[in-house]
Structures are given as structure tokens and as C-alpha cells.
Structure 1
């Protein structure tokens, strides 16, 4: 069928033999017959000055549907930018990482290890082929307003498979993001529920926080960078929530003030927008979706 776009739900297609030749015929669904003949106006009709319009039996104009192209496609979330942050790193308590088994040595007298190397870890007694994540202590996340410690980053280093349980146990590195060192920590791999579909919307409650860190080893923050903000699920944030970013304009001296060494705090300026894609209790990971210029640590974020 060369023009299947003219077939509508409820239509009936008949196959028959006429004079020994196969033939298709169509019977319209009465409810859809009117839709098939509906007047449709395209954008070029307005530009070219269309004059022929559908008329009723008594000569009156029929209503027409105005058809227009979508000018801008919906922006997709760049999955490759956030993939490695969906399951790792982790946010842990003050002593949680220090209480986990650690790498005590590396096979074949290597100083560092990578994918394909064996490592020895203290006191692991799980079943063979159990999966483990190798972490290293990362940043300490601190509330920008109160200086309260919100959590400790367990930075993802590698993934390993348990070859032989014991003390020490033998693990084979299967994937690595960077080199494994003696003293790195091993934690069981937990398959968290990962959402790949994000319904972008503002939070239901007012949120006001700050960017407190940027992930990925970059110093300048821009579009598609992953940042950490000092608000989490306990504050009402969920994956998909969008927040505006305001540049911290700082203060300036007022040389004409009667007060000596007077300063004026400048208003924060709207500088971009981010979307939260992973939440913890008190912090969240977010992707910068829009930016009018370079963003910085301690720039403010808030409900649009």
C-alpha cells in the first residue's frame, strides 16, 4: 500500500481477485470518513495565499485544521554525561568508608592496578564471583550557609570480581576508571534502581541552595557538567527537578558612601538552569542544562 497514511482506524481493507488479478479495496469507517476529508491548512498555504477551501453542501466554509511543524525539537538528556554517576560514586557517613575492607597488596609486585590485574583485600568471605566496587575517599560536602558537614564522597575507582574468599581475598579487576592503589576500599556492588526517564519539572516546594562541588575533574562549570548541590531528598528534591542557577555577584566598594570602607552586595544574576538526576539524603547530583557564561562553586540554585 503506497499511501498508508490515508488509512484510519475502523477502515476495512478487502483483498479480492478481479479477472484473475489481485486487487485491494477500502471501505471507510463512517465515523472516520469525515476526518479523512477534513480541511487541513499548512504553513505554505498562508505564505502562498491559498484560495480553495472545503465547502459544505450549502456553500459555507468548513472548519480547517492548521498544521505547523515543530520548530525546536525537545532537548534530550545527554546520557553519556551522567552514566557513570548514576550508580557511583556514593555518599557515605563519617566512618563508613574506613570500616570497609581495604586493598592490602597488588599481585605480581605491581605498585598500582588496572583492569585485568589481581588485588588482595582484607577479610572478604562472600561467594565466588561476587561483584565489588572499589572506592577511594573523596571530597567532604559542606553546607554553603551553615558549614555543616552533609556527607563524604566515596569516589568510584573500579569494579572487581571475587576470585577467592579469605583474609586476604583475591579479586580480579574487571573495569577501572583510574588506577587502584593500596588502601582503596572494597564495597559490595548494589544494583540500585536507575531511572533513565526524567520528567523535567520544578520542585513542588521552594528550594534554595548552592553549588558546592563539580565532578569530573574540571575547574570551569558549563553546559553538560555534573555538579553537587547542598540539597537532597530530605529537602524535597527528586530526579527530574529543575532549578535556576544564579551567579554569586559578590560585593563591591562604595567610594561615595559617607561610611568609611562601605561595601554593597550586588544582586545575584540568573546564569543558567540545572536538572537533578540523582539524590541522596542531603546532597544531589545535577546536570547543567543551560548556562549564559562560566558558572562557579557557591553560585546559588533555587526553584524557578
Structure 2
């Protein structure tokens, strides 16, 4: 047990990738990388983060499964853990659930990036009259990644208030990490078919489908094929915890081989119910499972492609 979380299955010993967090940095260096670039990490104002963690405390009633937050630590300790893992750049994503919150979160995220080396400035949006001006202000302030959480925000991404905001983000070429799949819970406006209406209006929007769109994996691959600016992030995909809930397709590595340059590292740190190394081990397993992937795929996913999206 670690921090009240069961240890990883010992039967996975010898699997590709790092077995524990203390092996991650050396494993990354062994790939010839200067470090990891994680496009899906969460840092939030303290009172907001406490509410998020309280929600996960009751995960059994929400999802039917325990979800103990593995890195339920003070902010300095969480930042230190990312550095010890060799994460040299990360996107600290924020997201609102009510009007008037996006602009405040954007200011907080900008201040966080100013004081934390390795954190890129991020921003978010919400369907309200100020959406376009909020996005414009964030872009002028240097935002290099946006987050849109359709499920938590419980909003329609096709809302007319958001249309000019999507246009501004598309024109700037800044990526937006969008949680629009039905996992872990279906929402009124979740579904990749819903978000495709946004892409139809803004086909140049650089979109990172959070959690690879789970559980709508087939639809996610279809969007990657139809829109050159659509990417998948690895967040929680293929790890034992998620495989019990929303397993990836059995031919996942073979399918990734066809879009190897459209996959980026994401983890959901710190809100995951297992060690960071677990996600890297899943990605390493995909790379080892198909001869078309291997170490070039790992270097692309873990560093090169997210670095390109974040304009490093």
C-alpha cells in the first residue's frame, strides 16, 4: 500500500516501461529525451481543488468504484514530484463549472505559470457573453493551451456564445484539450458527435481529445482521420484502473501505428488513483506491441509532439 492506494499488480513486473515513479526519470533519459512534456495536468486554486478531491472521495456513489487521489499532497510537493519524474514542461489545466469563473481561473493560471518553472500559461472558456473577450484576453496574456470540460461544465460546446471564442483559438493555432467523451459519466452535451459540430465550423481548431475520447475510441480515431488538427491524449488510457471500466480496443497499438504523430502524453496528475509511472508503462506497452511503434513512437508521444503543440 502507498498512501492508502493498493500497489500495482506484481504480475506486471518485467513489463515495458518504469515499474515505479523512482524509475521514471532514468527511463526517460534512456530514450534520449531531455524530459517529459505532459499536456494534461491539473493545478487549481486551493478551494477549487479541495472540492474536486471531495468529489473523488465519493467516487463509489458517482462511478461505482473507489478513486483515491494518489497525489493528494500540498502544491509544493506535487510540483516537486513532477520535477523528480523528469517532467520539464506541463500544461496546468483549469476549467469552470459556472458563469463568471473562466476569467478568474485564467488569471490564476497565468500567475501560476509565472511562478512555477515548467508550467505553460493555460486558459479555459465557458458559454457566457464574455467568452470571446475572455479568450482574447487570455491569448494576449500568452496562453499556450486551453481546456474545455464539457462534462463538468455541463454546457453545449455549440453554444452561440462560444462560436467566436472557438474561432479565436483556431486562428491563434493554440491547442485546446477537450473533454467531450461520455467517460466517466455521460452528460447532456457529451459525445464526440456533438463536438464535431464545432469542428465543422472551425476545421482548423487544434483539438486534443482528452482521454482519447473514451469510451468513444472509434469515433475519436474517425475525427483524427477527418481533421488534421485533432490529436488524442493518453490520459488514463490503457491503465489497469480504466481497463476495468472503459477498455481500449484490443487492436489499440495497431491502430495507433496509423496516427503515431497525433498522440500526446497526458496523465491527469495529480488526480489519478495510481502512480504516474503506471501511465508511462501503458504507453511503453503499446510501443512494444507493434513493430511500427517502438522508441520513435515513445519519443514522439512523450516529448516531441506535445512540445510542438505547446510551441516549445
Q: Which has the higher strand share?
A: 1
Name the TM-score class by shorter chain: under 0.3
Return the TM-score normalized by structure 2: 0.21
Q: Which has the higher helix share?
A: 2
The structure with the largest alpha-carbon Rg is 1
Return the TM-score normalized by structure 1: 0.21
